[in-house]
């Protein structure tokens, strides 16, 4: 249950942040921006032709959102959080008897 809620919250947060960024960058209407961001996150392929009118910064926001939607929110978060692996095992250490 916690994983499902975290996936929903992370996805909604990404979509909301991207929508607000695109609203600030493009100045388009809210319905077009929301349609474009949800479509990009879900990698649907539908568009309101907003992506053609965006400046390069807006296209980068959409591309990052498409990448995050394709990879998945939990996979992306765990990849960014777990930079260093903890080793849960130890190799045996012993001096071999020679001679």
How confident is the model at residue 94, as a pLDDT?
Answer: 82
Q: What are the extents of the domains in the chain? A: 2-75
How confident is the model at residue 85, as a pLDDT?
Answer: 66
- Among 46, 47, 40, smallest CA distance to 19 is for 40
Does 2-75 carry CATH code 2.60.98? no
Mean pLDDT for the stretch of residues 20-28: 89
pTM, entire model: 0.69
Contact assessment for residue 14 and residue 64, using Cβ atoms and an 8 Å cutoff: no
Say how far apart CA 75 and CA 89 lie, in whole Å. 24
Quick: pLDDT tens for 41-87: 988 888 888 888 889 998 999 999 999 888 887 777 776 666 666 77
Query: Which three-class secondary structure state does DSSP give residue 69?
Result: helix
Contact assessment for residue 41 and residue 11, using Cβ atoms and an 8 Å cutoff: yes
């Amino acid at each position: 249950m916690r994983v499902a809620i975290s996936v929903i919250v992370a996805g909604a947060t990404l979509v909301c942040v991207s929508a607000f960024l695109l609203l600030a960058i493009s100045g388009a209407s809210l319905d077009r921006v929301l349609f474009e961001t949800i479509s990009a996150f879900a990698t649907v392929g539908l568009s309101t032709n907003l992506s053609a009118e965006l400046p390069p910064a807006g296209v980068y926001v959409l591309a990052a959102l498409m990448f995050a939607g394709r990879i998945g929110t939990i996979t992306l978060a765990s990849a960014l959080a777990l930079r260093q692996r903890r080793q849960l095992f130890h190799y045996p250490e012993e001096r071999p008897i020679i001679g």
